[in-house]
């Protein structure tokens, strides 16, 4: 029995020695493994990211850096920010309001870039046969919106412009799909929403735009990054920007073709996707002092309305300011 055990032990030692000798050669022949994975949060309504995901363009941009891509879908911005806060995504793309609510709740992220303003890409709509003809007539009415989204600020400012306060209407907080159902069934009187949902409501059920954000809100779209990831991998952020600029230019030069690709992925008719694309601009750039100031104004408004628990400094969450 002892001789048998000695034999097994000797063979095991020989095998381990051989494996150790062969390992460097095997590693040299194998392709280099990825350094990491970029987990990017997106919403189905974010047309440019939907296109990038479908065509794999970002994967190609990041391959030389040794990074793969994992796409994580969220129903709206607030949920995406929660994903960023708990560490399930590294970079996300949202509207103006979600970062403010998230920062006030203690989330650690950076604003790393933004797209140009797109005020026509969010609007307040009513049913086509609604007797409501002005924002002022919303007093006492039910208005559906996604709480903590860019349209939350739009509703506040539209009401303010027309001599009303948020307390003069009954906000009904619903995510886009549920809000569309409530709107169609007339359980709410109006709906404040962003594209492509606005375009879909116009084209499919004849919703009438009462007002968009022109002259009210700039409606910037923001790229956000988890602080640790951004600090450790600035080259990945740069690659994301480069790909977004490239694809954005192509989209604006080829609207119909882009809509034909994006529409089935969003579950929308091509004409709806095309209308939505016309209202957005795609050209990501670092935050300027002017854009930071605009975002700070939104944050201050939400604090004054007690929609966030404390005052915040947007500049403190800016990657530009941190560099």
Same domain for 198 and 132:
yes
pLDDT tens figures, 1-12: 434 334 433 443
Q: Which of 195, 212, 229 is the last residue of a domain?
A: 212
Asked, for residue 3, whether it belongs to a domain, the answer is: no
In a domain, 293, yes or no: yes
Asked whether residue 204 falls in the same domain as residue 257, the answer is no
Q: Does residue 95 fall inside a structural domain?
A: yes
Contact 270, 47 (CB under 8 A): no
- Does one domain contain both 126 and 187? yes
- Burial code (b: 16+ CB inside 10 Å, e: under 16) for 80-113 equals bbbbbbeeebbbbbbbbbbbbbbbbeebebbbbb
The verdict on 232 and 318 lying in the same domain is yes
Residues 177 and 193 in one domain: yes
163 class by beta-carbon count within 10 Å (0-12 exposed, 13-18 middle, 19+ buried): exposed
Residue 15 domain flag: no
In this structure, are 110 and 231 located in the same domain?
Answer: yes
Look at residue 25 and tell me if it is in a domain. no
The residue-averaged pLDDT of 53-67 equals 95
CATH number at residue 185: 3.40.190.10
pLDDT > 90? residue 278: yes
Could you tell me the pTM of the whole model? 0.81
pLDDT of residue 76: 79
Q: Please say which residue of 162, 190, 212 terminates a domain.
A: 212
Res. 323 pLDDT band, cuts 50 70 90: low
286-306, pLDDT tens digit by residue? 999 999 999 999 999 999 988
Q: What pLDDT, on a 0 to 100 scale, did the predictor assign at position 52?
A: 94
Q: Is the pLDDT of residue 199 over 70?
A: yes
Quote the domain boundaries for residue 193: 119-212
Is 261 part of a structural domain of the chain?
Answer: yes
If asked whether residues 63 and 180 sit together in one domain, one would say: no
User: Is residue 128 located within the same domain as residue 67?
Assistant: no
Same domain (yes/no): 111, 126: no
d(CA 127, CA 130): 5
Q: Is 40's pLDDT higher than 50?
A: yes
Residue 260 pLDDT > 80 = yes
Please tell me whether residues 103 and 135 are part of one structural domain: no
Looking at the chain, the whole-number percentage of residues with pLDDT higher than 70 is 88
Query: Does the pLDDT of residue 172 top 70, yes or no?
Result: yes
Instruction: Reply yes or no on whether the pLDDT at 160 is more than 60.
Output: yes
Domain boundary among 166, 190, 212: 212
When pLDDT is averaged across residues 253-278 and rounded to a whole number, the result is: 95
Model confidence at 29, pLDDT cuts 50, 70, 90, reads: very low
Tokens 């007093």 appear where? Answer: 139
Question: Quick one: average pLDDT of 59-76?
Answer: 93
In a domain, 200, yes or no: yes
Do 146 and 160 fall within a single domain?
A: yes
- Stretch among 209-213, 215-219, 251-255, 318-322 having the lowest mean pLDDT: 318-322
In this predicted structure, the answer to whether residue 15 has a pLDDT above a threshold of 90 is no
Within this chain, do residues 167 and 77 fall inside the same structural domain, yes or no? no
DSSP string, 224-258: EEEHHHHHH-HHHHHHHHHHHHHHHHHHHHSHHHH
Whether the pLDDT of residue 16 is over 90: the answer is: no
State the Cα–Cα distance between residues 230 and 224, nearest whole angstrom. 9
Q: Answer yes or no: is 26 within a domain.
A: no
Number of domains in the chain: 2
Q: What's the confidence (pLDDT) of residue 321? A: 57
């Amino acid at each position: 029995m002892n001789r048998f055990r000695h034999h097994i032990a000797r063979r095991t030692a020989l095998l381990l020695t051989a494996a150790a000798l062969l390992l460097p050669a095997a590693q040299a022949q194998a392709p280099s493994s990825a350094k990491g994975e970029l987990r990017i949060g997106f919403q189905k309504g974010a047309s440019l990211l939907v296109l990038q995901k479908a065509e794999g363009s970002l994967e190609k941009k990041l391959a030389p850096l040794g990074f793969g891509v994992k796409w994580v879908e969220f129903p709206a911005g607030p949920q995406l920010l929660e994903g960023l806060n708990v560490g399930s995504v590294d970079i996300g793309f949202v509207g103006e309001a979600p970062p403010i609510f998230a920062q006030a709740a203690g989330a650690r992220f950076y604003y790393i870039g933004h797209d140009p303003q797109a005020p026509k890409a969010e609007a307040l709509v009513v049913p086509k046969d609604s007797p409501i003809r002005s924002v002022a007539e919303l007093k006492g009415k039910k208005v559906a919106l996604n709480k903590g989204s860019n349209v939350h600020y739009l509703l506040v400012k539209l009401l303010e412009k027309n001599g009303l306060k948020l307390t003069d209407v009954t906000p009904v907080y619903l995510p886009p799909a549920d809000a569309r159902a409530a709107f169609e069934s007339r359980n709410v009187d109006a709906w404040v929403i962003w594209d492509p949902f606005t375009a879909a409501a116009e084209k499919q059920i004849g919703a009438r735009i009462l007002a968009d954000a022109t002259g009210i809100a700039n409606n910037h779209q923001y790229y956000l990054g988890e602080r640790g990831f951004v600090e450790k991998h600035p080259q990945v952020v740069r690659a994301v920007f480069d790909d977004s600029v490239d694809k954005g230019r192509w989209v604006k030069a080829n609207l119909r073709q882009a809509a034909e690709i994006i529409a089935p992925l969003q579950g929308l008719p091509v004409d709806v996707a095309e209308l939505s694309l016309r209202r957005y601009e795609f050209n990501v750039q670092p935050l300027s002092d002017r854009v930071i100031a605009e975002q700070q104004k939104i944050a201050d408004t939400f604090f004054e309305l007690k929609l966030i628990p404390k005052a915040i400094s947007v500049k403190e969450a800016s990657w530009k300011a941190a560099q």
